[in-house]
Chains A and B, each alone.
Chain A
Amino acid sequence: MAYQLYRNTTLGNSLQESLDELIQTQQITPQLALQVLLQFDKAINTALANRVRNRVNFRGSLNTYRFCDNVWTFVLNDVEFREVTDLVKVDKVKIVACDGKNTGSNATE
């Protein structure tokens, strides 16, 4: 089972909103919507693993860190994300990271 981590992204949230609309109009059942989300989890995990090939560096100051249920959550301040072509500066960023070694059973964000 793939991580449900990516549901809280633009893509994931827009999917959930769309599914909610269809559920409200009773065009699909909540169970079917859940199936769609599970399929989305697989698709996004696969896509990120196979279709993305870029590297990013970043530097900033660490405000907080949390490690719970094998999930790291960081809050960094004044961060620069540097790609080959782009540089993005943000004053505050939250990083949520699941264990990359074991993508099996952990299904929480």
Chain B
Amino acid sequence: MLSNSSPVPKLYISVIDDVIESMREVFLDEGVEERVLEELRQLWESKVMQSKAVEGFMKDTLNPSNFVLQLPTNYAQTLRKPTASIVIPAGQNLHNFTAKANSSSTLATFSLPPGVSYPVQIPAGVTLQTSSGHLYKVNVPVMVTQAPGSHRVLSQPIQHVLEQREPVAHQETTTNSTVLQTIAPPVNDLYNHPPAPTGPVIQPTEPQPVACQQLGQGQCTSTELPAVQPPVVQKLLHSQLPPESPSDSPFTLEGIDFSPQPLDMSPTSSFVGQLTGLQEKAGQMQVLGSEFGGREEEDMNNAEMGTLPKVTENTGAVNLEHSEDSVKAALMKAVSYNDLLDIVQLDGVCDSSSEEEQAAGGPEDDFLGMINAEALRALQEGDGSSDGGSSNSNNSDVEDVMPEEEEDPLNSGDDVSEQDIPDLFETDNVVVCQYDKIHRSKNRWKFYLKDGVMCFGGKDYVFSKAVGEAEW
């Protein structure tokens, strides 16, 4: 049935098994509980399964159901005695079930095999996990039916998939029917709702509705889960919920003190790096305080924030004796220098712009990026002296500048490749392997590789040998 399946999932499972088993003793030696090891396995497996790398992991050609049943330890024995109600075949695709049921691990997992004929009755005490990782604890026998349209749906048994606050471990087979009935109506409503975004975390004390993303291929349902869960299940749920993105909020200036403060010159270079992570380092922005009193427009601030590092670097190069007004004016001008400042070490270009702005005052020249302050002063002095002196000195100064301008365009071509290299090596398609031999003849290359893992667009492949040719 799965004869043409990819070897990757099995390989991954075997690697996971190997690692977990070999770490079992180490964990015990370290005094770490075994449930932590199982939790590691669950986290690892769920991440691998959720990735596209093994999208054929539990794939069946007929019914792509992604049901994973997690059984508590004490249920393993019950499951070994198949009752008439259990339709789950024991032979298909249960590669890790037997091992797990036999081991002393707290959880047993297996997936519904592809050829399972619905309806499937799942006995009580079973925890169902969807491919997206959401868990449903079953406290009464559950009937999994197949809705028309090949959707996998938990039909009326959903009503039973609810529990009370009492410890579940003590209730394996019986439930409080009155509780179920009262809860049933809302469950039905939820059952028909469109998929809701995941979000709620299973709290230890309060039952919360858990929205699932996918149940097999089917529609989404949500149900309430008990307050008290086995710790492993809780942890799993915690881990499988999408992590809250920490400081994804757009950059705001709230809480940033922009009271006038003397600029701190020393950590200028570090500050540049910090500005790239504005959201996390807002506290350090206080160093820049001075010029932003009164500026509350985000756009302007963002632009100025972008120019600030250059400003501080330049002020670091020059003695900072300017009044706030002049600095403010300079910063206004600095906004227009944004593009220029992105190009570093181009004295000629900056000089040309500074000439345009020189009418507004001398100080803003100091805020041009990466300009050698001494050269700038020399230029200014040369310009100043040319007014009263001969034009030759002025020309000589201009000639000194000219070769730089000519060289910069020549050298600027070298910079382009620098920027491309990081992007060049970034790709979603990666092959990680070992090489037996790399051969080159003129511009024809031949690759003899081995033991590789390939990932193309998220999908994984493996090879024991790879031979390739390419022309450079």
User: In the complex, what residues of A have CB within 8 A of residue B456's CB?
Assistant: 81, 88, 90, 93
- B429 CB–A CB distance under 8 Å: yes
- B239 CB–A CB distance under 8 Å: yes
Contact pick for B463, options A18, A54, A74, A97, CB 8 Å: A54
User: In the complex, what residues of A have CB within 8 A of residue B252's CB?
Assistant: none
Known contacts A43-B19, A59-B470; A18 and B44 CB within 8 A of each other:
yes
User: In the complex, what residues of B have CB within 8 A of residue A18's CB?
Assistant: 40, 43-44, 47, 239
The distance in angstroms between the C-alpha atoms of A61 and B468, with both chains bound, is 10
How far, in Å, is B361 (CB) from chain A's closest CB? 48
The distance in angstroms between the C-alpha atoms of A47 and B18, with both chains bound, is 9
Chain A positions 7-49 with a Cβ under 8 Å from a chain B Cβ: 8-11, 14-15, 17-19, 21-22, 25, 27-29, 32, 35-36, 39-40, 43-49
* A: interface residue count bin: 35 or more
User: In the complex, what residues of A have CB within 8 A of residue B53's CB?
Assistant: 10-11
Known contacts A21-B239, A93-B456; A48 and B19 CB within 8 A of each other:
no
User: In the complex, what residues of B have CB within 8 A of residue A6's CB?
Assistant: 432, 453
Task: List the B residue with the shortest CB-CB distance to A9.
Answer: B453
User: In the complex, what residues of B have CB within 8 A of residue A9's CB?
Assistant: 430, 432, 453, 455, 460
User: In the complex, what residues of B have CB within 8 A of residue A88's CB?
Assistant: 456, 461
- B51 CB–A CB distance under 8 Å: yes
Contact B39 A27 (CB under 8 A): yes
- B465 CB–A CB distance under 8 Å: yes
Contact B438 A54 (CB under 8 A): no
Task: Render A47-83 as a binary contact track against B, CB cut-off 8 A, 1 for contact.
Answer: 1110111111111111111010000111110010101
Known contacts A10-B455, A35-B23, A94-B431; A101 and B436 CB within 8 A of each other:
yes
How far, in Å, is A41 (CB) from chain B's closest CB? 10
User: In the complex, what residues of B have CB within 8 A of residue A25's CB?
Assistant: 235
How far, in Å, is A66 (CB) from chain B's closest CB? 9
Task: List the A residue with the shortest CB-CB distance to B459.
Answer: A88
Contact A55 B470 (CB under 8 A): no
The distance in angstroms between the C-alpha atoms of A6 and B447, with both chains bound, is 19
- B343 CB–A CB distance under 8 Å: no
How far, in Å, is B243 (CB) from chain A's closest CB? 9
How far, in Å, is B142 (CB) from chain A's closest CB? 29
The distance in angstroms between the C-alpha atoms of A41 and B158, with both chains bound, is 43
- A1 CB–B CB distance under 8 Å: no
Contact A40 B19 (CB under 8 A): yes
- B251 CB–A CB distance under 8 Å: no
Contact B23 A11 (CB under 8 A): no
> Which residues of B pack against A, CB within 8 Å?
4, 7, 11-12, 14-16, 18-19, 22-23, 26-27, 30, 32, 36, 39-40, 43-44, 47-48, 51, 53-54, 235, 239, 424-425, 427, 429-436, 438, 445, 447, 449-458, 460-472
- Between-chain CB contacts (< 8 Å), 19 pairs: A5-B432, A9-B430, A10-B48, A18-B44, A19-B40, A22-B39, A39-B19, A48-B462, A52-B451, A55-B466, A56-B466, A57-B468, A60-B470, A62-B471, A75-B424, A76-B470, A90-B457, A97-B431, A100-B434
